[in-house]
Amino acid sequence: MAFAAINSAGMPIAAIEEAFVTEPSLKKRVYDAIGYTPQHAPLFEDLARYTSSLQARAASTSLPIVQPPTDGPAAKKRKIQNGSAGETAQAPVSLKDAPVQFYVQDISFSIPQRKKLTLEVTAGHRYLRARNQATKEVEFGISMDQIRHALCLPVPEKTQKLFNFCIIPEFADGITPPPEGTAASDAMVFTVADGPAKAAFSGSGQQIGNKPGEAAEELIRKILNENMPNTSVVRPNEREFVSTMPEAHRKGEKAYHVKAFRGSKEGYLFLLSTGIIFAFKKPLLFFSFDTIESVSYTSVLQRTFNLNILARPRNGSEEDNQEFEFSMIDQADFGSIDEYIKRHGLQDSSLAEARRAKVYNVNVPKNNDEAAAAETTGAEEESELQKAQRELEDQEDEDEEDYDPGSEGESEGSGSSSDDESEDEFHENGENVSDGDLVKEELGSETEDAGDDDDDE
């Protein structure tokens, strides 16, 4: 009877809601039967789950297709008209026709379109889709089994607390392109405000998630986790990474991002348990650990540095590697980022050979053999200025080797050179005298000359 009391309070049963979302009258009869015989509730839930599995199987199962003969479109048309196309496959439930099990109105999307739409999760073959609230047409959507990554990230630099859900299907991570001829779904980014859901409903139209203490972000995470077969929603946490600088616009709240630039495009890097994402501008870039070849730090300055990520597409070769540079990251977060890189075993190639500065063999003393080898190997590396300087130095060396002092004895400079040599010899022989002795000698010589003149007279 306890179960009947719970059900009478209006609490829906998820399995029954999903199985009979398109049959409200039958769903009501099931709930009435459970109210009369609560002991049969588990049986009705099992029947509902089985019904849902049959619906999913019918949506995904296809019969063999008989290929038409390759003799032109006219022959193909004739065969269809004659009934030979009776074995055509049963079409799966389309994105637009699948019944709804959950929806939220007035959700702000930023990728792939920037507008307010209704977010829907379908039953049976599960889709996540967006419906235009005015025209009631489905704008875009993703099959739940194609979603590879789902992230719930706090929106930085906003006074109101908001969360961005980033839904990344296969081939939409910005790293791995789709195979040739394959159409890939676009990523989705939509925003949910903190607090109770104001317009969230079950498939039957019953409002949910609006009670005190409930949060729209938690409700959507729960719905997505229940319907995505290949992944679950990932959120930032302190064990992985937290910025040393708190959230600027919400005092006392920790920041799980770092601001960075990719070219001229400003964005945010979030370092998560499954990889690194650069958001929230289009296109999103998500580096899962299995696509990261290495990381490196460049342009490390007093206040900022750059983070380079070398990524390889899934099933790609080394020739397909791409390097993504994120610049102007605050130096205060260098230690936390480096700790994250080391914790996850990502290769740091900051000191790789390709990143070393080139060394040119200019003005380096070397023997003849080394000079010959350097001349052949380093000729292409010389700039025009370096080449001209080298040729000038070689010419000066040749002029010094060919110089002969005797051949230019009649020149104007020969006398001065001889005087210099004589003076050097004079000093070397130790015949130099002090300044006082030189005065005496000069005066003495003049006195002798005067005496000689008197004698002659």
pLDDT tens-digit series, residues 76-107:
444 444 444 433 334 456 787 889 999 999 99
Secondary structure letter of residue 319 according to DSSP: G
The fold of the 100-226 domain, in CATH, is PH-domain like (2.30.29)
| Sign of the torsion angle spanned by Cα atoms 2, 8, 9, 10 | positive
- Is the pLDDT at 61 greater than 50? The verdict is no
Structural element, H or E, at residue 189: strand 188-193
Q: What is the pLDDT of residue 376?
A: 53
Mean pLDDT check: name the lowest of 84-98, 199-213, 350-364. 84-98
- Pick 60 or 325 by higher pLDDT: 325
- SS3 at position 308: strand
- Is the pLDDT at 339 greater than 90? The verdict is yes
Mean pLDDT check: name the lowest of 72-81, 104-113, 365-374. 72-81
Q: Count other C-beta atoms under 10 Å from residue 194's C-beta.
A: 13
Query: pTM for this structure?
Result: 0.62
Q: Answer yes or no: are the C-beta atoms of 150 and 166 closer than 8 Å.
A: yes
Q: Give the distance from CA 201 to its chain's centroid.
A: 36
Determine the Cα angle at 228 with ends 225 and 233, to 5°.
45
Rounded CA gap, 197 and 214, in Å?
Answer: 8
Identify any residues that bridge with 305 across adjacent strands, giving them in sequence order: 329
Across the range 172-183, mean pLDDT stands at: 92
Task: Out of 170-174, 358-362, 403-407, give the one with best mean pLDDT.
Answer: 170-174
- Residue closest to 421 by CA, chosen among 406, 407, 401, 439: 406
- Residue closest to 327 by CA, chosen among 301, 292, 357, 354: 301
Q: Answer yes or no: are the C-beta atoms of 323 and 355 closer than 8 Å.
A: no
Q: What is the pLDDT of residue 82?
A: 43
What CATH number does the domain located at 257-350 have? 2.30.29.30
- Is the pLDDT at 457 greater than 90? The verdict is no
Across the range 228-255, mean pLDDT stands at: 93
